[in-house]
């Protein structure tokens, strides 16, 4: 990759955001562990290096550190928050605990001109989150900005091309945050932006062609965006040497199976109807964990059955995306990885696994999908759990309840789409409760089930806020669900964030 940037990860909750901002600036970047040796970094020939923030204090006994030789590579470096403190400390500056932790929005004032803060107004709002601060910069550094509580909010050594900010330019609360990235990447590191859909499609297609060679490959489509886009890339690369399998476990959303069939009508797509097996295995089961386990097991069985019909395939294409790669590789991040293994494939498969999307963020995956001609409904589909509608039915899962939920869910999604909110909301869906309450319709008393509407905003699914949907929209959804979906006589809206709730109900 000609123009590439390395982000060294010291475990900040925002580390993925840094990488995303760099990609938004149309520059390719890779996230590596903070302790990656200078030699390994040099071998990758990056045009710039960014040091991320981190949850630690540089004074903590197990504080993550970095190879100081990185500052001698002659490659421009930008330190952010913890990265700035590390830079200051390793280069002989003075870091000390701040008197009070500075957290949240604050006003930054520039002190003179610098390339890093070029075109940032004299005063602007920045987002701070730190317990230590740099009290004295290392020799050769100029102080570029300050806030009331932080005497050095930004510093730089133009001669050595080492720069740092104490605040978080990657978060939206920092007004001119993106400009700091473009100043650093374009004007300091001299990078020409070139990471665009055409470019990433080309490299992903080339990667699959090379990995599969003359062989044949298999992909499991789930109905979701990632596997669909991975499939579209593989189709581009190897055409009819690709076979796709879609396990229809009866727990997919309305229209999902049909849309996948249509989008992949030109390749060897095998839809495995495993509905009966799944419903039989789930009969009588109410415990959420047990449901997940059964679905995971049945999924593997169905896939093995499909595999035995298809015959030999050397390569398995998987839709792993970059956040999955960062999350499983980083060792500093204070994140809790939840139960996302359902829908996993047999462990003892004799495949080589190829992951064409392993460098892409979700928004890039969507751009690729769009550029490859996949329909909007597929490309803009919201995340959906592997165990499907089963984790949105509280109590025993039956075919009848799935039908009720699928219909209600379709109404919620349609209304959200029509209100133009589908792309800005992380997930909006329906949950079916296995209880009954009394209602009245026409002149008759009803005794029906309630539907819960859930809509959340989130960056990554780890934490989430419930969405303040307009009352009119809630009203329309409730009226339509009670009017159109048999057996439902009440609609409620879930106003719990995560934590303390989870996004799904089970």
Active-site annotation holder among 168, 207, 249, 407: 168
Q: Which residue has the tokens 């309840």?
A: 401
CB nearer to ligand XMP: give 29 or 391: 391
Closest approach of Cβ 252 to ligand XMP, in Å? 13
**Cβ 187 vs Cβ 348: under 8 Å:** no
Active-site annotation holder among 29, 81, 102, 130: 81
CB nearer to ligand XMP: give 239 or 344: 344
Closest approach of Cβ 340 to ligand XMP, in Å? 4
**Cβ 366 vs Cβ 379: under 8 Å:** yes
CB nearer to ligand XMP: give 53 or 224: 224
CB nearer to ligand XMP: give 110 or 292: 292
CB nearer to ligand XMP: give 79 or 319: 319
Return the HEC string of 324-353. HHHHHHCCCCCCCCCCCCCCCCCCCCCCEE
- Cα–Cα distances (Å) from 100 to 95, 125, 130, 150, in that order, read 14, 19, 9, 10
81 is an active site residue: yes
**Cβ 402 vs Cβ 417: under 8 Å:** no
Active-site annotation holder among 29, 102, 130, 170: 170
122 is an active site residue: no
Closest approach of Cβ 381 to ligand XMP, in Å? 12
Closest approach of Cβ 213 to ligand XMP, in Å? 30
**Cβ 317 vs Cβ 354: under 8 Å:** yes
CB nearer to ligand XMP: give 193 or 383: 383
Q: How far apart are alpha carbons 260 and 224 in whole angstroms?
A: 9
168 is an active site residue: yes
Can the peptide bond before residue 498 be classed as cis, meaning omega within 30 degrees of 0?
no
Angle at CA 464, nearest 5°, toward 462 and 470? 155
**Cβ 401 vs Cβ 394: under 8 Å:** no
Closest approach of Cβ 504 to ligand XMP, in Å? 3
Contact residues: ligand XMP, CB under 6 A: 338-340, 342-343, 383, 385-387, 427, 461, 498, 502-504
Nearest Cα residue to 458 out of 419, 497, 417: 497
β partners of residue 454: 429
- Cα–Cα distances (Å) from 459 to 264, 425, 495, in that order, read 30, 10, 18
Closest approach of Cβ 339 to ligand XMP, in Å? 5
**Cβ 488 vs Cβ 433: under 8 Å:** no
Residues belonging to the active site: 81, 168, 170
């Amino acid at each position: 990759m000609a123009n590439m940037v390395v982000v060294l990860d010291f475990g900040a909750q925002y580390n993925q955001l840094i990488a995303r901002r760099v990609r938004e600036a149309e520059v390719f970047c890779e996230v590596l562990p903070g302790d990656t040796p200078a030699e390994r970094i040099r071998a990758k020939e990056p045009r710039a290096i960014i040091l991320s923030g981190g949850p630690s204090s540089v004074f903590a006994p197990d504080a993550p550190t970095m190879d100081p030789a990185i500052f001698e590579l002659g490659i421009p470096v930008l330190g952010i928050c913890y990265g700035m403190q590390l830079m200051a400390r390793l280069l002989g500056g003075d870091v000390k605990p701040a008197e009070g932790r500075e957290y949240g929005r604050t006003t930054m004032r520039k002190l003179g001109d610098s390339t890093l803060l070029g075109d940032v107004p004299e005063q602007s709002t920045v987002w701070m989150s730190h317990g230590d601060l740099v009290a004295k910069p290392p020799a050769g550094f100029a102080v570029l900005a300050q806030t009331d509580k932080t005497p050095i909010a930004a510093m730089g050594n133009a001669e050595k091309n080492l720069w740092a900010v104490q605040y978080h330019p990657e978060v939206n609360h920092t007004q001119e945050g993106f400009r700091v990235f473009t100043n650093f990447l374009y004007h300091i590191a001299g990078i020409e932006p070139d990471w665009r859909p055409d470019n990433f499609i080309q490299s992903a297609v080339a990667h699959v062609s090379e990995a599969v060679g003359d062989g044949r490959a298999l992909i499991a489509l789930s109905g979701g965006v990632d596997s669909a886009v991975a499939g579209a890339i593989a189709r581009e690369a190897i055409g009819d040497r690709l076979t796709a399998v879609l396990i229809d476990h009866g727990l997919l959303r309305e229209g999902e199976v049909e849309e996948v069939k249509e989008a992949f009508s030109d390749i060897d797509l095998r839809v495995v109807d495993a509905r009966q097996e799944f419903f039989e295995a789930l009969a009588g089961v109410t415990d959420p964990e047990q449901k997940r386990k059964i679905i995971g097991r049945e999924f593997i069985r169905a896939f093995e059955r499909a595999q035995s019909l298809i015959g030999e395939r050397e390569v398995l294409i998987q839709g792993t995306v970059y956040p999955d790669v960062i999350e499983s590789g980083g060792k500093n991040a204070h994140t809790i990885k939840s139960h996302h293994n359902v829908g996993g494939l047999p462990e003892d498969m004799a495949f080589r696994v190829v992951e064409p999307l392993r460098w892409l963020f979700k928004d890039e995956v969507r751009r690729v999908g769009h550029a490859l001609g996949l329909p909007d409904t597929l490309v803009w589909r919201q995340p959906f759990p592997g165990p499907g509608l089963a984790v949105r039915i509280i109590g025993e899962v039956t075919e009848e309840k799935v039908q009720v939920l699928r219909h209600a869910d379709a109404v919620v999604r349609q209304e959200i789409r029509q209100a133009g909110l589908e792309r800005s909301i992380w997930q909006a869906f329906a949950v079916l409760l296995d209880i009954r309450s009394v209602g009245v319709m026409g002149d008759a008393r009803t005794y029906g089930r309630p539907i819960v509407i859930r809509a959340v905003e989130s960056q990554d699914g780890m934490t989430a806020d419930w969405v303040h949907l307009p009352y009119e929209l809630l009203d329309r959804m409730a009226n339509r669900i009670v009017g159109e979906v048999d057996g439902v006589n009440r609609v409620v809206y879930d106003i719990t964030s995560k934590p303390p709730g989870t996004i799904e109900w089970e």
